[in-house]
Amino acid sequence: MSKQVPEQRIVVIGGGYAGALAAVRLAGRARGRGAVTLIDPRTELVQRLRLHQLAVGRRVRGFDLARLTGRRVQNVCARAVAVDPDRGSIAVERNGKLSEVPFDQVVIAVGSGIDVDSVPGVAEHAHSLAGPAAAIRLREELRSLRDGARVAVCGAGFTGIELVSELAGARPDLRVSLHTAGRVGRGLSERGAEELRLRLGRRGVELVEGEAVSAVEAGALVLAGGEEVAVDLAVWCGGFAAQPLARDSGLPVDPRGLLAVDATLRSVDHPHVIGAGDAAAIPAFPNGARYRMTCQAGMPSGAHAADTAVAALTGKEPRPFDFGYIHQPLSLGRRDGLIQWVDRADRPKEKVLVGRRAALYKELVTRSAVPSIRWERRFPGALRWPSATAAPGVRPEAAVAR
């Protein structure tokens, strides 16, 4: 009689899109060989793609993590504060008390935050969309604003653009401005940038371009040239910040503080430590494209992290993470949107979809994230994604969120 091999202890840290998907895929594919634990300080998954809606007072549904991940995943509501790869132990804080969770393999999928420290005054005087709690604080502050108050949103990435669009639609009585050191629509095609600027203009959004915000003060933005702009409320949507877990644990990180991983998503120093989503410094794809902080790439990275862990269970060499982009969807309020089609290397095509149809498309994309996790729970290994080197015209195997 063959000796039974004990189950490996596989822990996923982070219950966002990438982490939740990694956990359910692991629980299904490693059945009988690995026991999966998911650690997150929250009991609900609130879609980051909808935080701008939550901020303007719209109802945003949360999804119970334990129900979403199912009975095969043990959920631990706690905050991971350190990972010790040599001892195979994770220090967690729960209700003010520290304890340890052992592991044989760990997937770090803690996501990212907003950089509120690099520019003076941001942490003290600006709101953000760093998470559900931050969005709710912003919502309460917006409710207290009088007609005609000025709201300045700093940062013209997708978060900033979607927030000003939502604000202008929900509170047309406010004066809304979008501030960026560059140009609004940078990275879109010429037609895409033109459509975006036109549609923001129709909503009454003032574009303040070409000058960085050098400081935020109580009641004012200070521009790089020294000019002060009076504002009633500032919202900071500029700059990314890595979560400190990998750096504080002494794991190798890149200059931004992201977990340094190889092409298979394993830590460059500890192969039993795996990174996924915004927490990992994922190398460039075969076509030269870089990982972009988007659910479109984040959820496949979580699935691939699970596959890398399963490969270790079966004694196989994991494959490199190979991913190709499809689109850049933008919500411009409830009835308007812009879909920028891109090639697999994330280079914009001239073709865009705008208006009501684009808004419906974006809503379908956003809604697809949670059903994808449920589908993966029922049919482990079901999620597929386009390759970086797929030939033009090849139909993607699965469409995932932005």
Can you list the pairs that 114-118 forms with residues at least 24 positions away whose Cβ atoms lie under 8 Å?
Answer: 114/236, 114/237, 114/239, 114/240, 114/241, 115/238, 115/239, 115/240, 115/241, 116/236, 116/239, 116/241, 117/241, 118/239
Q: Is the sign of the CA dihedral 48, 51, 53, 58 positive or negative?
A: positive
- Which two tokens mark 115? 């950089």
- The secondary structure element, H or E, covering residue 240 is strand 240-242
Contact of 46 with 20, CB cutoff 8 Å: no
Q: What is the DSSP letter of 387?
A: -
| Cα 139 to Cα 128, 134, 233, distances in angstroms | 11, 9, 11
pLDDT of 32 = 84
Q: In 3-state terms, what secondary structure has residue 108?
A: strand
Contact of 92 with 99, CB cutoff 8 Å: yes
User: Cα(25)–Cα(187) distance, rounded to whole angstroms?
Assistant: 33
pLDDT of 7 = 86
User: Cα(100)–Cα(114) distance, rounded to whole angstroms?
Assistant: 28
Q: Same CATH topology for 8-111+243-324 and 115-240?
A: yes
Question: Who's near 357: CB < 8 A, 6+ residues apart?
Answer: none
First to last CA, the chain: 50
Residue 34's beta-bridge partner residues?
8
CATH homologous superfamily of domain 8-111+243-324? FAD/NAD(P)-binding domain (3.50.50.60)
Question: Who's near 384: CB < 8 A, 6+ residues apart?
Answer: 397, 398
Q: In 3-state terms, what secondary structure has residue 139?
A: helix
- The secondary structure element, H or E, covering residue 353 is strand 348-354
Other residues' Cβ atoms within 10 Å of the Cβ of residue 82: 16
Token pair 């604080």 in the structure block, residue: 137
The rounded radius of gyration (Å) of the Cα atoms in the chain is 22
Q: CATH assignment of 115-240, given 3.50.50.60, 3.30.530.50, 3.40.50.1370, 3.30.70.1290?
A: 3.50.50.60
Domain limits of the chain?
8-111+243-324, 115-240
- Which two tokens mark 138? 């912003």
Contact of 226 with 243, CB cutoff 8 Å: no
User: Cα(287)–Cα(284) distance, rounded to whole angstroms?
Assistant: 8
User: Cα(41)–Cα(91) distance, rounded to whole angstroms?
Assistant: 13
Q: Which amino acid belongs to residue 389? A: T
pLDDT of 2 = 43
Q: Which amino acid belongs to residue 276? A: A
**Blockwise average pLDDT, block size 10, the chain, 402 residues:** 68 96 96 94 91 94 95 97 97 95 97 92 96 95 96 96 96 96 95 97 96 96 94 93 95 96 97 97 93 91 97 94 96 95 96 96 94 95 88 42 49
CB-count exposure of residue 397 (10 Å: 0-12, 13-18, 19+): exposed
Phi, psi of 297 (to 5 degrees): -100, -30
